[in-house]
Amino acid sequence: MKKTGFISHESFFWHNTGNGSLFLPPGGWVEPNIHAENPATKRRFKNLLELSGLYDQLEKISPRTATREELEYFHTSEYIDNIKELSDQTGGDAGELSLFGKGSFEIAKLATGGAITATDAVMNGDVDNVYALIRPCGHHAERDRGMGFCIFNHVAIAAKYAKKKYGLKRILIVDWDVHHGNGTEQAFYDDPDVLFVSLHQELNYPANSGLVEHTGEGKGEGYNINIPLPAGTGNAGYMHAFEQIIGPIAKEFKPELIYISAGQDASNYDPLGRMMVDAEGYYQLADFMKKLAEKHCDGKLIACHEGGYSADYVPFCSLRIVEAMSEINTPVEDPYKINTPATTYIVTEGQKKLVEDVIKVHSNYWSFGKMSV
């Protein structure tokens, strides 16, 4: 009987983003504090996973380091050389808001290798699906620069690896991080073999990115779908977008493999987002994606951890994702649920209008026939 795989490594927690405040380095009026992308959110998730008893029921998989050739599936040689040089010295900034310390080049390569290892495990049938708890995150990293805490784009490289090694022609990537997955979009903007869907808070980060009208180009036109949800969208609003857009398009696209860029920064308590998804909402999203994978690609599903900056709440959201993927419930209850706003469970007119706008734009490429998962 196949199981859910889990990938992690102690070195991921050793990636050093410095002692900045939120996303800024210290200096000037900024007093040293704790950088938003610090190890606590991921480490506390792994701790909760173990404490709940679920960790012992997962298939532990060791990541391997990505090769130079694999990094170059997406990133330029000059960019890779620059990261290595900085990492060998004292660290630096990979581009924009992507601080890292000495040694992070090797850690980032291992994180990319974790996504590739997950791909092999699922494609070879060793497990049904995999949750990869990797760090640093990756979906903002562009071809020749890091952005938004990201150095190498793990999911983009893993998807390109899957195309090359397994000859896949239909890969679906769903990015539910609260920030637009600009780097992954860049990687496949003209590629009809990869359908990229990004759900994110509108007008957040990066600026002028993730607009509905950005639909791809050339042969890839129509295969890039941006769903910029309004601030305050909660469980019901996200599920409405999944049911009305992702479900029908996946039915038509028929993916052979599905990746999730799993950022838990659309939660109620995240300091870098203004959405209202609770832990149960993340269970619903993951359950939807699991059923979608079972329907279209024999359950082949890989979730790679991206953002999420509430050290208190990310562990509970992430645990619920793994519960949905593994179909194993734990006795852990959401202690923060008592403060969840009622609007988390309501689809507002603004949210409906946004979904209608996306459907209108993409009806040029997809039929949006009704379906059930």
Catalytic sites, residue numbers? 140
C-alpha distances out from residue 270 to 69, 144, 222, Å: 36, 29, 32
Is residue 184 helix, strand or coil? helix
Q: Please state whether beta strands 224-229 and 4-7 pair in parallel, antiparallel, or not at all (unpaired).
A: unpaired
Q: Which runs of E-coded beta strand occur in the chain?
A: 4-7, 59-61, 91-93, 95-96, 99-101, 129-132, 146-147, 171-175, 194-201, 224-229, 257-262, 301-305
HSE of 216, CA atoms in CB hemisphere, 13 A: 25
Positive or negative, the CA dihedral 261, 264, 267, 269 is negative
Question: Cα separation of 318 and 316, whole Å?
Answer: 5
Among residues 224, 225, 260, 322, the alpha carbon closest in space to that of 115 is found at: 260
Among residues 104, 94, 55, 38, the alpha carbon closest in space to that of 308 is found at 38
How far apart are the C-alpha atoms of 359 and 232, rounded to whole Å?
Answer: 21
Q: Return all residues near 142 (Cβ < 8 A) that are at least 6 apart.
A: 95, 153, 182, 183, 186
Instruction: Report the candidate in 276, 111, 301, 259 with the shortest Cα–Cα distance to residue 173.
Output: 259
Three-class DSSP category at 80: helix
| Nearest Cα to Cα of residue 189 among 169, 218, 209 | 218
Q: Decide: helix, strand or coil at residue 200.
A: strand
Round to whole Å and give the CA distance between 196 and 173.
5
At residue 330's C-alpha, the angle toward residues 128 and 346, to 5°, is 90
CA of 13: how far to CAs of 137, 139, 291, 360, in Å? 12, 18, 31, 43
